[in-house]
Amino acid sequence: MANYALDNASSHGAAHLGGLTGLFDDFTGDRLAESSRLAGARCLEIGAGNGSVARWLADRVGPGGSVTAVDIDVSHIPPYERLTVARLDLVREPPPEGPFDVIHARCVLTHLPNRETLLPALCERLAPGGTILIEDFDPFGLERAAHLLHAPAAPADVAELWSRYVHLRQRLFHESGSDRTFITRIPALLRDAGLVDVEAVTWCRSWRGGEPGSRHARATLEQFRPRLIEHGFPGHAVDTLARALDDPDFHSAGRPLCSVSGRAPY
């Protein structure tokens, strides 16, 4: 999949997407509920992954509302009432025509090379009073993500390996064309697009081995295994981290998610 370093079709794809769901859906739901009027809303979910946020929206828009979920790989999105699913490559094809009352994307735009033009195109599809909510990992949180609150007693080097891995992971995404700083420019881009009530909220909770955060991290680690080895991070170190991520004594400081909202004027 060009321009996106991971692949939903990987044997680790479901765990990766499920980990994101477990980590962030409660926070994303709170942000959608506080920023948007959901009853009767026409919603667009961009890069929907396993569709968990799209289903959350479908449950809340009621009989007068609708949800469209798009992704380059829709194989993880089950059918659901009021949910229309479409396979779409957002790098090569325009987003669905609006107008939409709610547009949401999480951990997607950062990976797409056309993010600078796609974001204004999404804003143009908002109905008057409609809300856009864009979420991604906060690049200012890299050191937190690399930090362990507690490491398993053995082997002794888990904390150091984890920190090395997290920084290398950032580099691998960058080499694939992702721009982790894009989320920090979104508030200004939303204002430039004429949106009002622009707000950014960053949320973070620690997680332990075996929990959704660790399943997400392990699925990413495994998908990056060949490239990590190419970059001098040995296979036995990947194995050590994969085991540590199942150990409840592994306690990550967490990975902050930044959530930026803006509203189209009436």
Look at the block and give the residue holding tokens 């989320």.
183
Tokens of 149: 């609150």
In the complex, the smallest distance separating the C-beta of residue 176 from ligand SAM, rounded to whole angstroms, is 11
Q: Under the criterion CB under 6 A, does residue 65 sit at the interface with ligand SAM? A: no
For ligand SAM, which residue of 47, 98, 130, 213 counts as binding (CB under 6 A)? 47
Site for ligand SAM in 103-162 (CB under 6 A): 106-108, 111-112
Binding mask 15-34 for ligand SAM (x = CB under 6 A): --x--xx-------------
Judged by CB under 6 A, which stretch of 85-93, 144-152, 184-192, 210-218 contacts ligand SAM? 85-93
> CA distances (Å), 33 to each of 30, 41, 191, 234, in order?
5, 12, 21, 44
Q: Which is nearer to ligand SAM, 49 or 65 (CB)?
A: 49
Decide if 73 contacts 17 (C-beta within 8 A): no
Size of the site for ligand SAM (CB under 6 A): 21
Tell me the pairing of strands 83-87 and 66-71. parallel
The residue with tokens 């990056």 is: 224
Element of type H or E holding 126? strand 126-137
Give the C-alpha separation, 3 to 13, whole Å: 16
User: To the nearest whole angstrom, how small is the minimum distance from the Cβ of residue 107 to ligand SAM?
Assistant: 4
Position with the least CB separation from ligand SAM? 49
Asked if 12 and 222 touch (Cβ cutoff 8 Å), the reply is yes
Local structure of residue 146 (DSSP, 8 states): T
Pick the binder of ligand SAM from 61, 85, 90, 134 (CB under 6 A). Answer: 90
- Integer angstrom CA distances of residue 169 from 40, 208, 228, 239: 41, 19, 8, 16
Q: Indicate which single residue of 91, 142, 168, 242 sits in contact with ligand SAM (rule: CB under 6 A).
A: 91
Q: Decide if residue 71 touches ligand SAM (CB under 6 A).
A: yes
101 or 136, CB closer to ligand SAM? 136
**Interacting residues toward ligand SAM by CB under 6 A:** 1, 4, 8, 17, 20-21, 47-49, 71-73, 88-91, 106-108, 111-112
